[in-house]
């Protein structure tokens, strides 16, 4: 009886059913999409931090670089030049220095850090940047000296600026030059549980181990290895030294690169960069996650000139479109979804009450033949609940479809650091294609790599579907409660007299 009457009343009031269901569906779909995007943005933020710090890193310690300390200088002499058969001059030189935005300091800081109470593990790294200038200056003519002899013009230093391009001067042919840059990180070989290597997994070859100490061995990031066409067994020139590739690693997160293009033993990095006894970053894991803020204060006292950053500090430094989307979802998206949901509930309530008012004679007759108030309330609530479930089902399908479309489009979010200087010269060749992550304060990437992109992936979980179903049920119950209350107030005699 109840179900038969319910089905008949819903079919007789299709317009009201459709309006309530559509309003509920739009609200549910928006809530699902905003909730999914919010989760996706949080995952992207975690990925950005993971690629820089590594899993399990609670605190990073660095020092602020002095202005201009990262500038690259190339001094070309006769040993760097080569004359071609067409009279052109070839220039090529490599420089290995601390990464832009990084400053080196004494490695004794690591010993001080390990002695602080609350430190579970700590490791040090040396963040470097390898820059190779290469170019060719062509000559077209000659000039006569005052003694009547003929001499060719030459340019023994490259044009100012960075990146790649061409130039010409009086009596000179077009010249082309470029700078190829990639990051190099010297890592301690005693642990991988903390620091940039903790968030990597090998794709071929092996990790660096204690037996590699002092050796010219290198492990490459998989993205950089692909762009540079390198594999295990090949060699990579870092500074003036050739390194053998013993392994290739990738980030444990599928949507980011690792913290550097290449990794070499710390002592080897100090040697080839002429920075003996120097480091740029210390990565720390706390004994207890709840003691991170206390540990930060203790480390600042031990190293007063250092910059101590927690994960929360680094998260606050994230900039770029990732920060914009995060703020948009957190503020506008959340409030908009709540307002639309509230509006959908209000529409359902008003249309339900309006429907009850138009059924005054019907409910009066039902009460006159013996229906109790409870029967009337259950009837109205049942109708509203079905409307809500229909809207929830449609909204869930629309929301799921929206998430699938977003994941199919796979929009990318740019990630930068508010604490690291931007710019730092253009990259060319393999270094430019690596797409390494941005340089967070204390991070291992250089400012030359101050921007990276992370694909936004909106997760589709059972929890989102349950939220949709729960909200639709809630909306139906709220509308049914108000409509049932309104119907229960009707008195049979008055209801019948009002339509007589």
Q: So what's the pLDDT on residue 15?
A: 77
pLDDT in tens, 336-367: 777 877 887 887 778 777 777 767 677 767 77
**Residue appearing with tokens 């490695």:** 107
| Residue owning tokens 């690291």 | 420
Above 70 in pLDDT, residue 375? yes
Is residue 255 within 8 A of residue 457, CB to CB? The reply is: yes
Beta strands in 275-431 (DSSP E): 278-279, 281-286, 307-310, 318-319, 412-417
Sign of the alpha-carbon dihedral angle for 197, 199, 203, 206: positive
Q: pLDDT per residue over 383-422, tens digit each?
A: 778 888 888 888 888 888 888 888 888 777 666 554 433 3
**CA-to-CA distance for 62 and 309, rounded, in angstroms?**
8
More confident residue, 47 or 457: 457
3-state secondary structure of 472: helix
What is the chain's Cα-based Rg? Answer: 34
The answer, yes or no, to whether residue 111 has pLDDT greater than 50, is: yes
Select from 320, 493, 498, 322 the least CA-distant residue to 418: 320
Asked whether residue 103 carries a pLDDT value surpassing 70, the answer given is yes
Residue 229 has pLDDT above 70, yes or no: yes
Query: What is the mean predicted confidence (pLDDT) over 490-496?
Result: 60
Mean pLDDT of 419-431: 35
Instruction: Return the pLDDT at 447.
Output: 33
pLDDT class of 163 with cuts at 50, 70, 90: very low
Of 50-59, 72-81, 242-251, minimum mean pLDDT range: 72-81
Query: Closest Cα partner for 95 from 48, 130, 144?
Result: 130
Give the tens place of pLDDT for each residue, 307-326.
898 877 766 655 555 556 66
In DSSP notation, 332-356 reads IIHHHHHHHHHHHHHHHHHHHHHHH
Rounded to whole angstroms, the Cα distance separating 300 from 315 reads 19
CA angle 295, 300, 303 (to 5 degrees): 125
* Max Cα distance, the chain (Å): 129
Q: Name the percent of the chain lying above pLDDT 70.
A: 63
What confidence tier does 128 reach under pLDDT thresholds 50, 70, 90?
very high
Q: Which is nearest to 204 in space by CA: 235, 225, 227, 182?
A: 225
Pairing, β 81-83 against β 89-98: antiparallel
What are the residue boundaries of the structural domains of the chain, listed by start?
Answer: 2-48+322-498, 56-309
Which stretch of DSSP H or E encloses residue 496? helix 492-498
Contact criterion met (CB below 8 Å) for 474 and 383: no
Q: What pLDDT sits at residue 85?
A: 56
Residue 127: beta bridge partners? 185
Nearest 5°: CA angle at 231, between 225 and 236? 70
Give tens-digit pLDDT for 463-479.
777 877 788 788 888 87
């Amino acid at each position: 009886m109840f179900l038969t009457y319910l089905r008949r009343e819903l079919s007789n009031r299709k317009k009201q059913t459709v309006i309530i269901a559509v309003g509920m569906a739009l609200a549910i779909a928006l809530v699902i999409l905003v909730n999914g995007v919010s989760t996706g943005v949080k995952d992207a933020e975690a990925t950005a931090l993971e690629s820089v710090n590594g899993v399990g890193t609670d605190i990073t310690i660095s020092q602020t670089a002095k202005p201009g300390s990262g500038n690259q200088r190339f001094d070309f002499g006769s040993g760097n030049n080569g004359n071609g058969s067409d009279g052109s001059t070839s220039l090529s030189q490599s420089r290995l220095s601390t990464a832009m935005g990084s400053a080196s300091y004494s490695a004794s800081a690591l010993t001080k850090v390990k002695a602080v109470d609350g430190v579970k593990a700590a490791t040090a790294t040396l963040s470097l940047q390898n820059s190779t200038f290469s170019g060719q200056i062509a000559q077209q003519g000659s000039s006569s000296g005052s003694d009547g002899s003929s001499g060719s013009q030459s340019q023994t230093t490259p044009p100012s600026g960075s990146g790649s391009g061409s130039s010409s001067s009086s009596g000179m042919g077009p010249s082309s030059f470029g700078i190829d840059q990639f990051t190099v990180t010297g890592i301690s070989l005693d642990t991988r549980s903390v620091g940039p290597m903790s968030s990597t997994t090998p794709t071929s070859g092996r990790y660096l181990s204690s037996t590699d100490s002092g050796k010219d061995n290198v492990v490459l990031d998989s993205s950089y290895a692909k762009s540079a066409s390198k594999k295990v067994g090949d060699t990579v020139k870092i500074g003036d030294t050739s390194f053998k590739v013993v392994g290739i690693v990738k980030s444990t997160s599928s949507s980011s690169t690792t913290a550097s293009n290449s990794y070499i033993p710390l002592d080897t990095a100090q040697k080839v960069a002429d920075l003996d006894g120097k480091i740029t970053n210390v990565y720390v894991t706390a004994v207890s996650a709840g003691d991170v803020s206390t540990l930060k204060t203790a480390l600042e006292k031990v190293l007063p000139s250092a910059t101590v950053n927690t994960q929360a500090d680094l998260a606050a430094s994230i900039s770029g479109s990732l920060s914009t989307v995060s703020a948009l979802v957190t503020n506008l998206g959340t409030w908009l979804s709540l307002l639309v949901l509230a509006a959908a509930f209000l529409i359902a309530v008003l249309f339900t009450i309006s429907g009850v008012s138009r059924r005054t004679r019907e409910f009066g007759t039902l009460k006159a033949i013996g229906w109790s108030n409870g029967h009337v309330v259950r009837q109205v609530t049942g109708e509203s609940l079905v409307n809500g479930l229909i809207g929830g089902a449609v909204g869930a399908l629309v929301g799921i479809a929206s998430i699938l479309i977003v994941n199919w489009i796979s929009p990318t979010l740019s990630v930068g650091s508010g604490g690291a200087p931007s710019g730092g010269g253009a990259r060319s060749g393999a270094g430019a294609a690596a797409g390494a992550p941005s340089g967070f304060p204390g991070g291992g990437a250089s400012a030359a790599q101050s921007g990276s992109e992370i694909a936004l992936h909106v997760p589709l979980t059972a929890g989102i579907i349950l939220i949709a179903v729960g909200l639709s049920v809630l909306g139906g119950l709220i509308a049914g409660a108000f409509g049932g209350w309104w119907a229960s107030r009707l008195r049979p005699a008055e209801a019948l007299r009002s339509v007589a």
